[in-house]
Amino acid sequence: MASKIILITVFILDLIAFGLAVAAERRRSTGTTKRDGEDNYQFCVYDSDIATGYGVGAFLFLMVSQLMIMAASKCFCCGSPLKPGGSRACAVILFIMCWITFIIAEVCLLAGSVRNAYHTKYRSRFFENPPSCETVRKGVFAAGAAFTLFTAIISEFYYINFSKARKNFTAYGGEAGVGMAAYK
């Protein structure tokens, strides 16, 4: 039977990661061009940088939840063998899907956080082209949030199916000796 404590803890960690990713999307920094006091130069001014912290927080919470699931299931590779059947097949498929969605979510969150923290330091003369005040594209943190949600759902189902396949299975049928009672 799957541990309810692990399931609840992982669910809470994933929910926090999802919330932080959504908050990062809503609070991502924006840049505007401003003129200096003498109207000779233009430069970029950015608003708050809180989205970087939210993105890194979501990254870390999702990583901790993934590590907990993998430690509880011994990363699917180690430990006792699993009972053949539908639960094992589902566990294998969900294990692969869980890692794919996890990697995509982590890449989106990390890339969004790094890009949000980057602020251009350029300035240009007023009569030239204004400087590029590049910021994070809209939707990078949202994609991270969506894949965080997918990872949360898939990892919970993976752990449940893994626990079903691991339950009450002995690799050699339970008897170590050779039965010779029929040949007297």
Span 53-71, pLDDT tens digits: 899 999 999 999 999 999 9
With 0-12 / 13-18 / 19 or more C-beta atoms within 10 angstroms meaning exposed / middle / buried, residue 13 is: buried
The whole-model pTM stands at 0.78
What is the rounded CA–CA span in Å between residue 104 and residue 146?
A: 10
What is the rounded CA–CA span in Å between residue 174 and residue 68?
A: 31
User: For residue 182, is it within any domain?
Assistant: no
Domain limits for position 49: 4-166
Tokens at 120, concatenated: 């251009």
What is the rounded CA–CA span in Å between residue 82 and residue 99?
A: 20
pLDDT, greater one: 124 or 107: 107
Other C-beta atoms lying within 10 Å of the C-beta of residue 17 = 28
User: For residue 47, is it within any domain?
Assistant: yes
**Total domains in the fold of the chain:** 1
